[in-house]
Amino acid sequence: METKLLTTDDESLKIAAEILKDGGNVIFPTETVYGLGADALNPEAVKNIFKAKGRPADNPLIVHISSLDMLKDIVEEVPENAKQLVKKYWPGPLTVILKKCKNVPYETTAGLDTVAVRMPVNQVAKRLIELADMPIAAPSANLSGKPSPTTAQHCIDDMVGRVDAIIEGEDCKYGVESTVVDLSGEKPALYRPGAVTLEELEEVLGEVEVSVSAKENETPKSPGLKYKHYSPNANVVILAGEWEQVECFIKGKTDLSRIGMLVFDEFPKIDGVKCISLGSLKNPYDAMHRLFWALREMDKMGIMTVYAPEIADKGTWRAVRNRLYRAAGNEIINLSKGDTKKILFVCTGNTCRSPMAEAIFNKICKEKNINAKAESAGVYADGSLVSTNAAEAIKEYNIDISERVSKNINKDMIENADLILTMSASHKMALNYAFGDSEKVYTIAEFIGENQDVADPFGGSLEDYKSCRDMLYSMIEKVTEKI
Ligand code: TXA
Ligand code: MG
């Protein structure tokens, strides 16, 4: 498909508005991130948004409006607390979820009876909605799973050939997506922190329930919560600890060429490491503005692992922390607890044996209060979800690993681990071949003085997976006794 590149003058916006009226899709700037818009009331137009982004169909869209009149056409009622909240924060980076009315197709809300609505303050967005004279459904204009686009160039990089037009506006003022608050239920609930903070919401609404991460074994209230988000190609890891500990950790790396760091202006420099500053520690808006851009820059530089600092869990920082920690898949290395033993389990695809081993190991350590933590990786992993049967088998321990995405092993993971345990002798050989012989690498059996490999249940029945799990359990119990 040919993608028109448009400017922000009125003539161009009229062209964009015509495309929307014809059921097409247009990428446009907002104050948060760029959005990929289509007529929110046209099911076919909305379906094309999902197609263009590669977005799962069960993740609903935000509907953008330019006046309160438009709101009346899409929601059943506007409760009193919603009236007060939007009076204060619209137009602006706030999305509210309300009960939808019949006009809004289930394609837009992904089958839900509620609809998310936002009135952007960005003048190009506002003018486009006015000219098109319709509510516009728009998710962030990135390929699904990638960091949201905060510049026109990001949209061009991801979406040329996939959409009808891109309006090349300014860089987004805030740089992270809007705050999402649900006002359709009994209690207000925050699903996504943004530039409008929890504290600000509570000033108007009273107590707000926070459900920004999907809990184990629970269908998230906001479908977007369950998807891995904002991830660059690089592996993102949070380093928790004092600056001296961080410096010592980084300097201990043998190859700095493919390591990147997100830092603050106040941090001292580390020679030979590619750093991108998120601005000053005093200004969360700097960090908000730069985060997604910085993650994309790291990919352009071919960085393999991005180390990032801890971010405070309060006020405006909460939005930055939420996006960064999700990009990291919550992988945090705690440098202060230097004595935490880091174990890495390795199998082939990191979808069956090693994720089960990781979950079992962490469960046993928690129960026995052992100061150790396991991760897992594969020698040929391709970012797939964990196998359904492996997740089923582990669910019996009340642990949900079903959203886990496989990771391919790299040199950095090898260096970060204190002990590496493989399922079979061939995995050990593969590691030693690729990364050089290491005294840290054993097969699990070898480590506990036994000799059987853990066979691959891949493609087998749930029973096969359960017996593999039970075998791993008894072996890993012995591992925890030894370390
Ligand atoms: O700042 C923003 O909100 C940007 C710009 C373009 O406006 N849009 C955006 O859309 O971030 P998107 O689709 O990337 O994120 C929408 C989030 C998703 O996590 C989705 O699950 C949630 O809002 N959501 C939408 N409708 C919902 C509903 N009815 N109930 C619960 N969650 C909903
Ligand atoms: Mg998004």
**SS3 letters across 307-333:** EEECCCCCCCHHHHHHHHHHHCCCCEE
Q: Cα(59) to centroid of ligand 2, in Å?
A: 10
Q: Cα(356) to centroid of ligand 1, in Å?
A: 32
Which of the ligands is closest to the CA of residue 116? 1
The Cβ-side half-sphere exposure at 45, using a 13 Å CA radius, reads 23
341-482 to CATH, choices 3.40.50.300, 3.40.50.150, 3.10.310.10, 3.40.50.2300: 3.40.50.2300
pLDDT at 336: 80
Cα 47 to Cα 36: distance, rounded to the nearest angstrom: 12
pLDDT at 217: 38
**Which residue is closest in CA terms to ligand 1's atom 24?**
60
Q: Cα(148) to centroid of ligand 2, in Å?
A: 6
Give the position, in ligand 1's atom list, of the atom nearest the Cα of 141. 6
Q: Is residue 415 a contact partner of residue 253, using CB atoms and an 8 Å limit?
A: yes
Check if 139 has its Cβ closer than 6 Å to any atom of ligand 1. Answer: yes
**Which residue is closest in CA terms to ligand 1's atom 20?**
224
Cα 152 to Cα 56: distance, rounded to the nearest angstrom: 24
Which of the ligands is closest to the CA of residue 212? 1
pLDDT at 223: 66
**Which residue is closest in CA terms to ligand 1's atom 19?**
224
Q: Cα(392) to centroid of ligand 2, in Å?
A: 29
Q: Cα(3) to centroid of ligand 1, in Å?
A: 24
Determine how β-strand 62-64 pairs with β-strand 136-137: antiparallel
Check if 35 has its Cβ closer than 6 Å to any atom of ligand 1. Answer: yes
Check if 191 has its Cβ closer than 6 Å to any atom of ligand 1. Answer: yes
Least confident of 206-215, 222-231, 276-285: 222-231
- Stretch 413-417: mean pLDDT, rounded? 91
Least confident of 153-157, 398-402, 477-481: 398-402
Integer CA distances (angstroms), 27 to 129, 138, 159, 186, in order: 12, 9, 9, 35
Cα–Cα nearest to 7, from 171, 168, 170: 168
Check if 151 has its Cβ closer than 6 Å to any atom of ligand 1. Answer: no
To test ligand 1's pocket by mutation, which of 27, 61, 109, 192 has the most ligand atoms within 8 angstroms of CB? 61
Q: Does pLDDT of 214 surpass 60?
A: no
pLDDT at 370: 87
**Which residue is closest in CA terms to ligand 1's atom 18?**
224
Residue-range domain boundaries for the chain: 4-210, 235-334, 341-482
Do the first three CATH levels of 235-334 and 341-482 match, i.e. the same topology?
yes
Cα 145 to Cα 157: distance, rounded to the nearest angstrom: 15
Give the position, in ligand 1's atom list, of the atom nearest the Cα of 112. 29
Q: Does pLDDT of 216 surpass 70?
A: no
**Which residue is closest in CA terms to ligand 1's atom 31?**
222
β-bridge partners, 97: 116, 182
Q: Cα(388) to centroid of ligand 1, in Å?
A: 27
Q: Cα(115) to centroid of ligand 2, in Å?
A: 16
pLDDT at 215: 42
pTM of the model: 0.79
CATH number of 4-210: 3.90.870.10
Band of residue 233 on the pLDDT scale cut at 50, 70, 90: confident
- Stretch 163-181: mean pLDDT, rounded? 98
Please state, rounded to an integer, the average pLDDT across all residues of the chain: 93
β-bridge partners, 181: 96, 190
Cα 8 to Cα 167: distance, rounded to the nearest angstrom: 6
To test ligand 1's pocket by mutation, which of 101, 117, 126, 180 has the most ligand atoms within 8 angstroms of CB? 180
β-bridge partners, 342: 373
- What's the pLDDT tens digit per position in 419-463? 999 999 999 999 999 998 888 999 999 999 999 999 999 999 999
Which residues are within 8 A (CB) of 477 and not within 5 positions of it... i.e. 6 or more apart? 364
Cα–Cα nearest to 149, from 168, 172, 180: 172
pLDDT at 344: 97
Residue type present at position 334: N
β-bridge partners, 401: none
Q: Does pLDDT of 324 surpass 70?
A: yes
pLDDT at 92: 98
Check if 223 has its Cβ closer than 6 Å to any atom of ligand 1. Answer: yes
Question: Domain 235-334 in CATH: superfamily?
Answer: Threonylcarbamoyl-AMP synthase, C-terminal domain (3.40.50.11030)
Cα 452 to Cα 425: distance, rounded to the nearest angstrom: 9
Percentage above 90 pLDDT, the chain:
81
pLDDT at 225: 60
Where in 113-210 does DSSP place strands (E)? 114-118, 136-137, 165-167, 179-182, 189-192, 209-210
Which residues are within 8 A (CB) of 317 and not within 5 positions of it... i.e. 6 or more apart? 284, 287, 311
Check if 144 has its Cβ closer than 6 Å to any atom of ligand 1. Answer: no
Give the position, in ligand 1's atom list, of the atom nearest the Cα of 36. 6
**Which residue is closest in CA terms to ligand 1's atom 21?**
224
- What's the pLDDT tens digit per position in 90-146? 999 999 999 999 999 999 999 999 999 999 999 999 999 999 999 999 999 998 878
- Stretch 395-411: mean pLDDT, rounded? 91
Q: Cα(303) to centroid of ligand 1, in Å?
A: 29
Least confident of 2-6, 47-51, 308-312, 414-418: 414-418
Q: Cα(116) to centroid of ligand 1, in Å?
A: 7
- Stretch 370-388: mean pLDDT, rounded? 92
The Cβ-side half-sphere exposure at 476, using a 13 Å CA radius, reads 32
Supply 426's token pair.
């061939």
Check if 184 has its Cβ closer than 6 Å to any atom of ligand 1. Answer: no
Q: Cα(296) to centroid of ligand 2, in Å?
A: 15
